[in-house]
Structure 1
Amino acid sequence: MAVRLRPQSIQGRFTLIAAIAALILFGLLGAGMAGTVRMKTQDGIFRDTQNAATDWAGSLDPATVPRTTHESGVTLLQLVDSHDRVKAATEAAKDLPPLSRLRPPETSRIKNEIVCARDEGCLLVTAVRVPPLSSRVLWAGEPHYVFAGKAEPPLLTAHRLELLTAVCVLLATGLTAGAAWWVVGRTLRPVAAIRARTAEISVSDLSLRVPEPPGDDEIAQLARTSNETLARLEQAVEQQRQFASLVSHELRSPVAALHAHLDEALMYPEDVDTRQTLQSALAATQRLTAIIDDILVLARMRTTKRSGPEPIDLNALVRTEAANCPHTPPVYTHLQDEITVMASRISLVRVVDNLLVNAQRHAESRVDVTTSRSGDQAVLTVADDGDGIAPEDRERVFEAFVRLDDGRRRDPGGSGLGLAICRAIASAHHGTLTIDDSPRGALFVLRLPLRKTKPILAQRLALRRDPAAQAR
């Protein structure tokens, strides 16, 4: 079974990354420092042995054997002939075999060598070839060599320097990993608090909020965004609850009426007019069907993505829907040329139809429909000459199941969802539906984004609107 090396937590992953990076960095630095220390130390020892060897070679006397040591601490000095026989040596080196078998040539009189024994450590040796003139005078031309040696410092023996460096690297890596663990843990502490509080939040109680840390870093922004999302979610759930309550209330009346008619028919079959009872039951079921259909439409508008938009000639659509309206009260259209919007035809037809039906229901003598442009928006207004809507009720009428007294009187069978559906459709098309001030009656204003046209097409449309420019 494969072993999972990747830590589960962000804190663990960041700590692992920091530890690996620190190990590589400190390892490279440690290796470089250890190599530099070893090289500098050996260079210093070789300078001492070279000075000691050259000084003694210059003071050689065949009649006397030098018995003094060099002031640098080099105590191992030997004079060796070409047959590896020790001819002279200091007190510390007289009982030792030749310190080295290194034989510098005449072209290069000085050579350095590190000689290591298995159990006695390493010796840094400098070999100096006695000048030819001295060899001819003193030893009949036989080559002689002076060896000067000094033991390697304890720090450099048995890889102590490398081991010490490795220990320091591991210690520094451990300290870095610990610091990374602490810093990341402290940074993520607010995240843990947010997670714990989020786990306590449920649909039954959305009033809780996650703690917001001070500052304006990413975690603080996350906490604020989470609280804003929770607030919107709480508002949406509350709206759904209110909507469910309103649906229950609206469905209760026709269901109760249907139940009463059927119950009466069962209890008093001889006294009940069967035809009238069935007609009343049918009317109740028709109202139920209308309410349920409107509820389904509104639910789909809120929860599903609208169908693909298509270019729609707003003026042609208004003419068609106005022609389908009853002739009393009459509908007058005032249309501006070339107004095209991108929308779902079925949805836009529903909006225009609902607005026209609503306007005819409340109009005294006429309904006026106007289309125009305002910047990059198409504007459709539907005005009636009825009693109008009070300013304090102009937003409330777009809520689900809200029906003013005048509306209940004129259409007692309405569901109260028509305007809510219209506004939902407008919002889904990135538009608005509002009620503006009017000298008389109600003025509904629908604004939708115009279809984006290419510059050449826009120029052609401008020429069509301006005959004088076309003549030029």
Structure 2
Amino acid sequence: MGPALAALIVHDLKNGLGALEAELLALQHTHGEAVGGATYKHCVELRQRFVQFLALYGVDGTMRAHSADESPQDLIRLICKEQGPLLAPLTLQAGEADQAPPYWYFDRRLVRLALEAALHNAQRYARSAIRLSAHGRDGMLVFVIDDDGPGPQPPDRDDPQSTGLGTALCQAVATAHDLKGRRGFATLARRPEGGARFELGLA
């Protein structure tokens, strides 16, 4: 797919979300806020995130990290607070604070997008619980998502939710975080105790 076609598709998707948002708002005005209120809110958040995601790319389509001093544990707590209810009936647990460096230099928006994409992937396979944590390893910050599912599964071409875009996003976010030629990584592997483990390493 060329950049021109990709730009047209992205523009069309953004306009489609905007139109859906307007229709839901009109529905609320006609039948009251109780009708479609949660769906409207979700649509607004999705459109805003989509626009934010587009802003993270340069005109050449290359993802660039705009890093700043951030607290990994604060980000973990925020994600667990916001994503926990969305993942129900699964339980989303936050790892211990002392396992993560107090501060690290990374792009909060990019890392959040990658972790939320990985969480939604874990949601498809987890049986009861997902755990989000972080720790330092070999001079890098590593975010970890553990689930208690059957472990990594091969791509399912018949599953409309399995597009591979989440994996590509995580790899792009990891690659965008480089320090003196050392780049981050994104991996998915089987846990020795069962389930899958996703790791996002940031240089």
Q: Which one has more relative contact order, counting CA pairs under 8 Å at least 6 apart?
A: 2
How many equivalent pairs are there? Answer: 149
**In terms of Rg, which structure is larger?**
1
Structure 2 residue 202 is matched with structure 1 residue 448 = yes
- CA distance in 2 between partners of 1:385 and 1:298 (Å): 35
> Does structure 2 retain, via aligned residues, the 8 Å contact 1:298–1:424?
no
Amino acid aligned to 1:373: G
Query: What does residue 344 of structure 1 align with?
Result: 107
| 3-state SS of paired residue (1:362) | coil
What is the CA distance between 1:311 and its match in structure 2? 0.7
Query: What does residue 418 of structure 1 align with?
Result: 166
- CA distance in 2 between partners of 1:299 and 1:348 (Å): 12
- CA distance in 1 between partners of 2:65 and 2:137 (Å): 26
Query: What does residue 57 of structure 2 align with?
Result: 300
What is the CA distance between 1:319 and its match in structure 2? 1.0
> Does structure 1 retain, via aligned residues, the 8 Å contact 2:92–2:129?
yes
TM-score, length of structure 1 as denominator length: 0.28
What is the CA distance between 1:306 and its match in structure 2? 2.0
> What are structure 2's unaligned runs of at least 5 residues?
10-42, 179-183
What is the CA distance between 1:304 and its match in structure 2? 3.8
Amino acid aligned to 1:319: R
Amino acid aligned to 2:152: I
Amino acid aligned to 1:441: G
What is the CA distance between 1:436 and its match in structure 2? 2.6
Structure 2 residue 122 is matched with structure 1 residue 359 = yes
Of the candidates 174, 188, 199, which is equivalent to residue 435 of structure 1? Answer: 188
Closer/same/farther in 2, CA of residues 316 and 408 from structure 1, 3 Å limit: farther
> What are structure 1's unaligned runs of at least 5 residues?
1-242, 252-285, 394-403, 450-472
> Does structure 2 retain, via aligned residues, the 8 Å contact 1:339–1:378?
no
Amino acid aligned to 1:332: Q
- CA distance in 1 between partners of 2:55 and 2:165 (Å): 8
Summarize the alignment of residues 129-278 of structure 1 with structure 2, pairs less than 5 Å apart: 243-244=1-2
Closer/same/farther in 2, CA of residues 340 and 408 from structure 1, 3 Å limit: farther
- CA distance in 2 between partners of 1:309 and 1:320 (Å): 18
- CA distance in 1 between partners of 2:133 and 2:197 (Å): 11
Query: What does residue 152 of structure 2 align with?
Result: 389
What is the CA distance between 1:368 and its match in structure 2? 1.5
Of the candidates 69, 89, 94, which is equivalent to residue 333 of structure 1? Answer: 94
Write 1 or 2 for the structure with the bigger share of strand: 2
- CA distance in 2 between partners of 1:428 and 1:408 (Å): 31
> Does structure 1 retain, via aligned residues, the 8 Å contact 2:135–2:143?
yes
Superimposed CA distance per residue, residues 408-450 of structure 1 (whole angstroms, 9 cap, x where no aligned partner): 54xx25643122011101110121111133132221111112x
| 3-state SS of paired residue (2:141) | strand
What is the CA distance between 1:383 and its match in structure 2? 1.3
Write 1 or 2 for the structure with the bigger share of helix: 1
Superimposed CA distance per residue, residues 116-174 of structure 1 (whole angstroms, 9 cap, x where no aligned partner): xxxxxxxxxxxxxxxxxxxxxxxxxxxxxxxxxxxxxxxxxxxxxxxxxxxxxxxxxxx
| 3-state SS of paired residue (1:371) | strand
Q: How much identity, in percent, do the aligned residues show?
A: 25
| 3-state SS of paired residue (2:170) | helix
What is the CA distance between 1:310 and its match in structure 2? 0.6
> Does structure 2 retain, via aligned residues, the 8 Å contact 1:433–1:444?
yes
- CA distance in 1 between partners of 2:117 and 2:96 (Å): 19
TM-score, length of structure 2 as denominator length: 0.61
Closer/same/farther in 2, CA of residues 318 and 299 from structure 1, 3 Å limit: closer
| 3-state SS of paired residue (1:300) | coil
